[in-house]
């Protein structure tokens, strides 16, 4: 059970890094008024949204674990 909790926390940490990286990339392109490929921008936005959704799922699973442990 402790390994499951550790795996969930590790997955959450990696998703946070991915989300921050994608968001900063998007901000950098917008700030530079870079004429980036529209398909790339769309894919980047999709990754951001999917990552947010996955974080929500992991947060709910972690919250459930806290309730079980408490």
Phi and psi at residue 37, in whole multiples of 5°?
A: -55, 125
C-alpha to C-alpha distance for 20 and 26, rounded to whole angstroms: 10
Specify the pLDDT at position 27: 86
pLDDT, one tens digit per residue, over 7-65 is 999 999 999 999 999 999 988 877 777 666 778 888 899 999 999 999 999 999 999 87
Domain regions of the chain by residue span:
2-69
Do residues 10 and 22 lie in contact, with contact meaning Cβ atoms separated by under 8 Å?
no
């Amino acid at each position: 059970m402790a390994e499951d909790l550790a795996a969930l926390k590790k997955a959450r940490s990696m998703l946070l890094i991915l989300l921050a990286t994608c968001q900063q990339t998007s901000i950098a392109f917008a700030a530079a008024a870079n004429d980036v490929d529209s398909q790339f921008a769309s894919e980047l936005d999709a990754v951001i949204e999917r990552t947010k959704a996955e974080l929500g799922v992991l947060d709910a699973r972690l919250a459930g674990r806290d309730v079980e442990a408490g």
